Amino acid sequence: MMFRHRFDLPLVEDATGRFLIWIMAVMVYLGIVALAGALVLAGMASRWENGLTGRLTVQISPQPDTPGRGSDPEMVAPLVQRTEVALALLRATPGVLRAEPVTAATTHKLLEPWLGTALLDDLPLPALIDVQVAPGSDPEVPALADRLARSVAGAHLDNHAAWLDDLRRLARTVQLVALAVVVLVGTAALVAVVFAVRTGLAIHSPVVELLHIMGASDRYVARQFQAHVVGLALRGGMVGLALGLATLGLLDRATGEAAAGMLPVMALPPPQWLALPAVPLVAAALAAVTARWTVLRVLAALP
Amino acid sequence: MIRFDNIGLRYGSGPEVLSRVNFTLKPGSFHFLTGASGAGKSSLLRLMYLGLRPTSGTITLFGRDVATLKRADLPALRRQMGVVFQDFRLLDHLSALDNVALPLRMAGTAEAEIREHVVELLEWVGLGAHLEAKPPTLSGGQQQRVAIARSVINRPRLLLADEPTGNVDDSIGMRLLYLFEELNKLGTTVMIATHNEGLISRFPHPRLHLDRGTLTVIPAEASVAAAMTAVASGLPAVLAGSLTGGGWPP
Ligand SMILES: Nc1ncnc2c1ncn2[C@@H]1O[C@H](COP(=O)(O)OP(=O)(O)O)[C@@H](O)[C@H]1O
Ligand SMILES: [Mg+2]
């Protein structure tokens, strides 16, 4: 047995405490999955931010029909020519480090899996320019976007800001939901601890009285319950940890197989894996504090 | 050591179980508490070990007025007392060794020291072969000795025993009383509640007699003292027997 502790109270023989193992297992399981999710999302958001901010994409549509500009497809310069104009403009802009067209071959390769080769050949594809700006020059982006749109028909500058904002909002929402779940389950688990301890005190009141008569302090009695609850919580926590890690492992493999290369950011960096075993420890510590507080409060109310 | 002044006790709104009880126990004294069943002996002991508060009157324990004690003061006072309950109140899930060790563990004694003292005492009461036995596997007499060992393990200043000879025949009863006498010689103040008049008439100790809640103090009589000297001549042999463990019935 991992916890060979000699209890003065025959708590181990109670069935009341046994369901604590299960509620603790559920709490730790959800805590682990939620924590892993929150960590993965936080990591993903920061990687997207670092990877994409400083990068811009200019997209030039083959057949611009911007209303209000009175443009007629016949009167617009060919795509290749407009791309050259846009490239020149970009390269002349201070703060732009690099501006390279994405070759048609690359575009085709990106789209092929979705559209197939037959369709792609006939499809009028936009020209793409990959732009790298000096870090910190983001404030000038709106001006650049405006200038591009006026100089080159059909040109559109995408700085991914809106997309990143959405991602950040998503990450934050998921984190809040995870936190809410953990707080709810945690509260339920701690209420269960209070209930189990109160039941234990009631069932064993003759023994508790005996211990007091023999000179036990309230804290001595509290330690008995505390040690018992920690034992149950850790046992439940191990079950929750094992199930949680198994779930994460399965998810990791599933994402790895289904979208190799596309979702490499889903993986949790190694140092953060170390945070997961802390979940059952934190849960056990909270359970211990709750048990202690409950016992002391109940006993203090005795004459 | 302990002093009762005009103590009255009721359970709830029931009749008065004790009324106007007065007595003083001097340090190192030995008293019997006698009276018919239902006379209030257990209630009086309960007042002494602070398991109950009086309805009226003042109890002074180790020089302190019990009414002024706070909950936090109780453990320190109770650790100076040993109590033998009529029904033993051993913890069935613990070995004899762990049962006897309880008062020491509460006092925070080091584990090595605990084991040494407990084994020594259990051997002394003739239970050296039953250290790891759980109480339900022990006979009534053996359980009684575990309970007594537990009550004396921390060398209490005050020992309270409620009918410690109640469930055993007179020969075991005699041996247990000699055990308390030994303790008393070491300085412990002893009070033993019993309704076994025949047994205690052979010991030269004053009696507190309860009759329907009223207490009378009966000094040790010369005749009892005379009877005692006759018994006392056999005492060392009995105690020597208990020391080797051979004197106790299983
Ligand atoms: N917890 C209790 N609640 C109510 N009445 C009690 C309680 N304990 C004892 N009594 C009553 O008090 C009286 C004295 O009981 P007790 O002190 O046990 O006497 P003894 O130990 O001399 O037999 C009895 O009439 C008994 O019914
Ligand atoms: Mg009684």
ipTM entry: 0.84
pLDDT at position B112 over 70? yes
User: Which of B53, B79, B93 faces A215 most closely, judged by CB atoms?
Assistant: B79
The minimum CA-CA distance between A189 and chain B, rounded to whole Å, is 28
What is the domain partition of chain A in residue ranges? 2-49+164-301, 62-153
Give pLDDT tens digits for B38-67. 999 999 999 999 999 999 999 999 999 999
Query: Which of B11, B97, B102 is the best substitution to test chain A (most A C-beta atoms within 10 A)?
Result: B102
Give pLDDT tens digits for B136-161. 999 888 898 899 999 989 889 999 99
Q: Answer yes or no: do A213 and B51 touch at CB < 8 A.
A: yes
Lowest mean pLDDT among A35-39, A71-75, A230-234, B58-62: A71-75
User: Which of B71, B76, B78 faces A214 most closely, judged by CB atoms?
Assistant: B78
> Higher confidence at residue A152 or residue B6?
B6
Q: Answer yes or no: do B106 and A303 touch at CB < 8 A.
A: no
Q: Is B157 on the interface with A (CB under 8 A)?
A: no
What is the number of the ligand 1 atom nearest to the C-alpha of B195? 22
What are the pocket residues of ligand 1 if the criterion is a CB atom closer than 6 Å to any ligand atom?
B 11, 14, 17, 35, 37-43
Lowest mean pLDDT among A15-29, A147-161, A174-188, A283-297: A147-161
What was the pLDDT predicted at A93? 83
Lowest mean pLDDT among A13-22, A94-103, B100-109: A13-22
Task: State the average pLDDT for chain A.
Answer: 80
Of the ranges A111-115, A199-203, B235-239, B245-249, which is most confident?
Answer: A199-203
User: Which of B50, B75, B93 faces A216 most closely, judged by CB atoms?
Assistant: B75
Chain B window 49-108: which residues touch A at a Cβ cutoff of 8 Å?
Answer: 49-51, 53, 71-72, 74-76, 78-79, 81, 83, 89, 91-94, 98, 102-103, 105-107
pLDDT range class, residue B246, cuts 50, 70, 90:
very low
Lowest mean pLDDT among A5-9, A62-66, B20-24: A62-66
For residue B65, give Cα distances in angstroms to B49, B58, B61, B134, B199: 13, 7, 7, 39, 34
What was the pLDDT predicted at B58? 96
The minimum CA-CA distance between A4 and chain B, rounded to whole Å, is 13
Of the ranges A38-42, A50-54, A130-134, B156-160, which is most confident?
Answer: B156-160
The mean pLDDT value for A43-55 works out to 67
pLDDT range class, residue A12, cuts 50, 70, 90:
low
Strand order of the β-sheet with B64-65 is B16-25, B2-10, B56-61, B64-65
What was the pLDDT predicted at B240? 31
* Domains of chain B as residue ranges with CATH: 2-240 (3.40.50.300)
The minimum CA-CA distance between A225 and chain B, rounded to whole Å, is 15
Give pLDDT tens digits for A110-167. 777 777 777 777 777 788 888 887 766 665 777 888 888 888 888 888 767 777 778 7
What is the number of the ligand 1 atom nearest to the C-alpha of B162? 21
Q: Answer yes or no: do B71 and A300 touch at CB < 8 A.
A: yes
pLDDT at position A302 over 70? yes
CA of B43 to the centre of ligand 1 (A): 6
